[in-house]
C-alpha cells in the first residue's frame, strides 16, 4: 500500500473544502469586533507630502481612525528593522512624508465596514511637493549600475569563463541581438490581505502578542519580518495562513499593508482587516521588472558554441535594489567554450520589484532561447540538433556533475509527441489555408532549490498520525503531496494521516517559493515520520519526533534521525559536489493570420524531468498552470506606466490581460521518470516554475517560423507582426 502512495494521482485532500467554500482564506477568518482598513495611496511618483487633510474623512460615517505619518506609531529604525534583502523589503510604513512611487501607501482609513472605509479613503486630500521622477526604462539605461552580491541569490552578479571576444573573432557564425521583457504584475486571484490583532501574551506576563492572519507564501518568514519590524521577540508574533489564493512570488514576504494593519490594530485597540483592491496590487506588492538583455553568440560551422555573452539590465525602485537575475541560467545550460554574463540595475520611481514565477529564468530564457533559434537559422541547423550539439553533460560553471539530468530524454519525448520530425526548416513554409503555421521549441530549466525546514510527526494510539509543519499551501497542492510523503514514510494509508500547515506556531519552514516546498518540506516530513515510526517500533508505544533539516535537506537533530541522515549522505550527500537543476523541452505550434497579425497557439507539448514526481495529477496541473501563465507573459501581460504621473494605466483585469480559456489550446504534458540519488532523501527536485521557462522563446520561435518575423520584445502582440 505505502509503496504506491508516492506518485499516485491522488485528488487534493483539501479539494472538498475548497469546492464547498469551507476552506477559510485570510479575509474570511472569524474574528470578533473586526474593523476594516483601506489604504490611501499616493498620486505622484516622487516628492514629499506637504499636507494630508483628513478632516472630511474623519467625519465620514463609521470612521474610527485615519492613520497618517503624523499619528502613526513610531517603529524601530524608521520601520526598516525587518529589511533583509533580497527577502525583506524596504517598506513604506507612514514613518515619513517621502513619496517614492505613484500608488505608495500614505495613509490608512479604518471604519466599521469595508464600504465606509473605502468611501472615507477617497476623502483624504494630499498636497505634495513633487520632484522629478524617473519613469522611462529605456531612457534610464545609461544610468545602469552593478548590483550588490545579496541581489543575485548568493551568486556573483557577473561571471566570466574564458575570453569571449577572442572566441567571437574565431566564430564562423554570430548572433548579436537585444531582447526586452516588460513590467508585469502577478495578479493572484486572491488579493493581498491581512487581519491583525493584539492579544494578551500567552506567557501571562502582561505583554502583548501580535496575531496576523495573512495571505502569505511564508508564515515563518512573515513572522520573522514582523517581529523585527516591531522590535518584538519572535514568540510575540504569530502568523496564520491556512489557504492562499495564489501568490506567484508577490506574497513571498510582507509588504507595507501587513505591518500597517498591525499598527492600525494597535492604535485602535481592535482587530483590523485590510484588503487591497485589485488596483492597489499594481505597485505596492511587487512586480516583474522591465528587462533589457543583450545576447551575443558565436559558433563554429558545426554548431559548437564558442562564445556566449548575456548582459541583462532590469529596473528596481528608488528605495531598494532588487534584481531580475536573467543571465544566471546562461552560465549552466549549454556547453560553450567561453561565457560571460553581467547584471545591472536602473532605478525607477515605481514600487519595488520582486520574485515573479520563475524569476530570472522566465525572462532570461526568452532571450537565450530566442538567440539559440536565431543561431540555428544562421547555421541552417535544426533547433533541437543545435541544442543537442551543445548539450552540457557536466555543469560548465565549475565543471561539476549534475545530480541528475534528463534533458536529452525531454527533447526526444517532446519532439516525438509533438511530431517535430515533420517540420520544414524554412520560415513561411508551412500553411493551413490562409493561416501561416510555425513550429518552435525551447529548452526549459530551473535550479533545484531547497532550504532548511522542520516538521513534527505524532503517531497516536488510535493508529492515526498528525504531522505539523509551519509551511503553507499557496494553491500548489502542498497539503496533498506532503500527506503522501508522510503516509509513505509512516507506512500508513493517507486517510490515517492528517497534515496541518499554515501556522507559525508549528515548526519552522521556509517560504513557499523557488519551487522548493516539495523538496524542503517533503524531506523534513519524511525524516520526522521515519523517526517517529522507528521510535514507535522500538518502544511499542505511540511516539512523536521533531526533525529539523539543514540547508541540503539532511536532518540536524541527534538520535535515530541523524543515523538516517548519515546513511543518506553516504549515498552521495545533497549539495556541494553536484549541480542540481530540473529540465524540460517545450514545443509550440503558432498560427498567424498574415493580414491581421492575430496569433493563436493551438497546441503546446512540454516534456519535463524534475526528479521523483509525488503526485502525477497535481504535478501535471502545476505544469499546465505554468504554461498558461507563460502564455500570458508571452502574448498579453504588460503593465503600462503613465510617463508623466507614474500612475499604472491598466491596473485591473479588464485592461491587464491574462489568458482566458479561449486563448489556450491543447497542452500535452509529459513527465519523464527521473531517479536522482543525490538530491535529497525523497528524490524530489520541485517543478512549480519549471514549465514557466522556455515558453516565451518557443512561441517567439514558432512565430518566426510562421512569419519570418523575429519579435525580440515581449509581449508578442499583433502590432509587432504587421
Of 14 and 361, CB closest to ligand MOS: 361
Site membership for ligand MOS, residue 383 (CB under 6 A): no
Site membership for ligand MOS, residue 357 (CB under 6 A): yes
**DSSP, residue by residue, 344-399:** EEEE-SSPPP---SSTTHHHHHHHHHHHHHHHHHHHT--HHHHHHHTB-SEETTTT
Residue 480 C-beta: closest distance to ligand MOS, Å: 19
Q: Which helix (H) or strand (E) holds 36?
A: strand 35-41
Of 47 and 584, CB closest to ligand MOS: 584
Round to whole Å and give the CA distance between 525 and 492.
Answer: 14
Site membership for ligand MOS, residue 504 (CB under 6 A): no
Measured on CA atoms in the order 552, 558, 564, 568, is the torsion positive or negative?
Answer: positive
Site string for ligand MOS, 511-530 (x = CB under 6 A): --xx----------------
Part in contact with ligand MOS (CB under 6 A); list of ranges 296-304, 352-360, 385-393, 664-672 = 352-360
Of 415 and 511, CB closest to ligand MOS: 511
Residue 213 C-beta: closest distance to ligand MOS, Å: 20
Pairing of strands 208-214, 193-200: antiparallel
Residue 482 C-beta: closest distance to ligand MOS, Å: 17
Residue 512 C-beta: closest distance to ligand MOS, Å: 7
Catalytic residue among 397, 595, 689, 713: 689
Of 390 and 471, CB closest to ligand MOS: 471
- 689 a catalytic residue: yes
Give me the count of residues in the chain: 722
Pairing of strands 435-447, 430-432: antiparallel
Question: What is the torsion angle, in degrees rounded to the nearest 10, for the CA atoms of residue 320, residue 326, residue 332 and residue 336?
Answer: -130
Round to whole Å and give the CA distance between 633 and 514.
Answer: 18
Site membership for ligand MOS, residue 632 (CB under 6 A): no
Site membership for ligand MOS, residue 220 (CB under 6 A): no
Residue 257 C-beta: closest distance to ligand MOS, Å: 18
In angstroms, what CA-CA distances link 210 with 26, 207, 274, 287, 585?
Answer: 15, 10, 15, 28, 47
Site membership for ligand MOS, residue 37 (CB under 6 A): no
Site membership for ligand MOS, residue 356 (CB under 6 A): yes
Residue 124 C-beta: closest distance to ligand MOS, Å: 33
Of 217 and 317, CB closest to ligand MOS: 217
Of 449 and 620, CB closest to ligand MOS: 449
- What secondary structure letter does DSSP report for 421? G
Site membership for ligand MOS, residue 252 (CB under 6 A): yes
> Three-class SS of residue 202?
coil
Of 259 and 360, CB closest to ligand MOS: 360
Cα angle, residue 425 at apex, residues 713 and 372 outer, rounded to 5°: 45
State which residue has the least CB distance to ligand MOS: 249
Q: Tell how many helices (H) and how many strands (E) occur in the chain.
A: 15, 26
Of 240 and 513, CB closest to ligand MOS: 513
**Please, are residues 459 and 533 in contact by the beta-carbon 8 Å criterion?**
yes
Site membership for ligand MOS, residue 246 (CB under 6 A): no
Q: Which of 284, 263, 223 is nearest to 82 (CA)?
A: 223
**Which positions from 545 through 584 interact with ligand MOS, judged by CB under 6 A?**
none
Q: Residues 82, 191, 218, 249: which binds ligand MOS (CB under 6 A)?
A: 249
Site membership for ligand MOS, residue 217 (CB under 6 A): yes
Part in contact with ligand MOS (CB under 6 A); list of ranges 303-311, 353-361, 594-602, 629-637 = 353-361
Q: Residues 36, 38, 198, 355: which binds ligand MOS (CB under 6 A)?
A: 355
Q: Where are the alpha helices (DSSP H) in 209-319?
A: 219-230, 257-268
Pairing of strands 666-671, 599-609: parallel
Q: How far apart are the first and last CA of the chain?
A: 59
**Full strand arrangement of the beta sheet holding 159-161:** 159-161, 338-347, 305-316, 291-299, 173-181
Q: Residues 37, 79, 359, 584: which binds ligand MOS (CB under 6 A)?
A: 359
- Catalytic annotation, residues: 689
- Contact residues toward ligand MOS (CB under 6 A) are 217, 247-249, 252, 355-357, 359, 513-514
Amino acid at each position: 500500500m505505502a509503496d504506491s502512495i508516492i506518485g499516485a494521482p491522488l485528488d487534493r485532500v483539501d479539494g472538498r473544502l475548497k469546492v464547498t467554500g469551507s476552506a477559510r482564506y485570510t479575509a474570511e477568518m472569524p474574528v470578533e469586533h473586526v474593523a476594516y482598513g483601506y489604504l490611501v495611496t499616493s498620486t505622484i511618483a516622487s516628492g514629499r507630502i506637504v499636507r494630508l487633510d483628513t478632516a472630511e474623512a474623519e467625519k465620514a460615517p463609521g470612521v474610527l481612525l485615519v492613520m497618517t505619518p503624523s499619528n502613526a506609531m513610531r517603529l524601530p529604525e524608521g520601520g526598516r528593522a525587518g529589511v533583509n534583502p533580497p527577502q525583506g523589503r524596504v517598506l513604506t510604513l507612514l514613518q515619513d512624508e517621502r513619496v517614492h512611487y505613484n500608488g505608495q501607501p500614505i495613509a490608512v482609513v479604518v471604519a466599521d465596514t469595508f464600504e465606509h472605509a473605502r468611501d472615507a479613503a477617497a476623502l483624504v486630500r494630499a498636497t505634495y511637493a513633487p520632484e522629478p521622477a524617473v519613469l522611462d526604462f529605456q531612457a534610464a539605461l545609461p544610468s545602469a549600475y552593478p548590483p550588490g552580491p545579496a541581489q543575485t541569490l548568493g551568486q556573483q552578479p557577473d561571471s566570466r569563463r574564458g575570453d569571449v571576444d577572442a572566441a567571437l573573432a574565431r566564430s564562423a557564425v554570430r548572433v548579436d541581438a537585444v531582447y526586452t521583457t516588460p513590467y508585469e504584475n502577478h495578479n493572484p486571484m486572491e488579493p493581498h490581505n491581512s487581519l491583525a490583532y493584539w492579544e494578551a501574551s500567552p506567557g501571562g506576563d502582561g505583554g502583548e502578542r501580535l496575531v496576523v492572519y495573512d495571505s502569505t507564501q511564508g508564515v515563518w518568514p512573515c513572522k520573522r519580518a514582523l517581529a523585527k519590524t516591531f522590535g518584538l521577540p519572535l514568540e510575540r508574533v504569530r502568523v496564520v495562513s491556512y489557504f492562499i489564493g495564489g501568490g506567484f512570488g508577490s506574497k513571498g514576504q510582507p509588504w507595507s499593508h501587513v505591518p500597517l494593519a498591525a499598527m492600525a490594530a494597535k492604535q485602535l485597540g481592535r482587530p483590523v482587516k485590510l484588503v487591497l483592491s485589485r488596483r492597489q496590487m499594481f505597485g505596492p506588492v511587487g512586480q516583474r521588472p522591465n528587462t533589457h538583455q543583450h545576447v551575443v553568440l558565436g559558433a563554429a560551422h558545426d554548431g559548437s558554441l564558442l562564445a556566449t555573452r548575456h548582459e541583462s539590465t532590469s529596473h528596481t525602485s528608488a528605495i531598494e535594489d532588487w534584481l531580475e537575475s536573467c543571465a544566471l541560467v546562461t552560465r549552466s545550460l549549454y556547453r560553450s567554450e567561453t561565457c560571460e554574463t553581467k547584471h545591472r540595475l536602473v532605478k525607477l520611481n515605481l514600487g519595488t520589484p520582486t520574485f515573479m514565477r520563475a524569476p530570472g529564468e522566465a525572462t532570461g530564457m526568452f532571450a537565450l532561447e530566442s538567440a539559440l533559434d536565431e543561431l540555428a537559422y544562421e547555421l541552417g541547423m535544426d533547433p533541437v540538433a543545435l541544442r543537442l550539439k551543445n548539450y552540457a553533460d557536466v555543469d560548465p560553471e565549475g565543471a561539476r556533475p549534475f545530480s541528475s539530468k534528463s534533458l536529452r530524454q525531454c527533447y526526444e519525448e517532446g519532439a516525438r509527441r509533438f511530431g517535430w520530425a515533420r517540420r520544414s526548416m524554412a520560415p513561411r513554409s508551412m500553411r493551413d489555408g490562409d493561416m501561416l503555421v510555425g513550429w518552435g521549441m525551447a529548452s526549459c530549466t530551473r535550479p533545484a532549490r531547497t532550504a532548511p525546514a522542520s516538521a513534527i510527526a505524532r503517531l497516536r494510539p488510535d493508529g492515526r498520525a498528525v504531522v505539523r509543519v509551519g509551511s503553507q499551501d499557496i494553491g500548489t497542492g502542498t497539503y496533498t503531496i506532503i500527506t503522501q510523503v508522510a503516509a509513505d514514510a509512516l507506512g500508513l494509508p493517507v486517510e490515517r494521516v492528517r497534515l496541518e500547515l499554515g501556522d507559525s506556531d508549528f515548526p519552522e519552514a521556509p517560504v513557499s517559493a523557488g519551487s522548493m516546498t516539495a523538496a524542503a518540506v517533503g524531506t523534513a516530513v519524511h525524516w520526522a515520520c521515519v523517526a517517529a515510526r522507528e521510535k514507535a517500533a522500538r518502544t511499542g508505544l505511540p511516539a512523536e519526533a521533531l526533525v529539523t533539516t539543514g540547508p541540503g535537506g539532511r536532518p540536524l537533530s541527534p538520535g535515530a534521525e541523524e543515523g538516517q541522515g548519515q546513511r543518506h549522505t553516504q549515498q552521495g550527500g545533497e549539495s556541494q559536489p553536484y549541480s542540481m537543476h530540473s529540465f524540460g523541452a517545450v514545443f509550440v505550434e503558432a498560427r498567424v493570420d498574415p493580414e491581421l497579425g492575430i496569433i493563436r497557439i493551438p497546441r503546446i507539448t512540454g516534456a519535463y524531468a524534475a526528479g521523483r514526481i509525488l503526485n502525477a495529477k497535481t504535478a501535471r496541473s502545476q505544469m499546465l498552470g505554468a504554461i498558461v501563465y507563460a502564455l500570458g507573459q508571452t502574448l498579453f501581460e504588460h503593465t503600462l506606466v503613465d510617463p508623466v504621473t507614474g500612475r499604472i494605466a491598466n491596473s485591473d483585469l479588464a485592461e491587464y490581460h491574462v489568458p482566458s480559456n479561449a486563448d489556450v489550446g491543447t497542452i500535452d504534458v509529459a513527465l519523464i521518470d527521473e531517479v536522482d540519488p543525490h538530491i535529497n532523501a525523497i528524490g524530489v527536485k520541485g517543478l512549480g516554475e519549471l514549465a514557466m521557462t522556455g515558453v516565451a522563446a518557443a512561441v517567439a520561435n514558432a512565430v518566426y517560423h510562421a512569419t519570418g518575423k523575429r519579435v525580440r520584445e515581449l509581449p508578442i502582440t499583433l502590432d509587432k507582426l504587421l
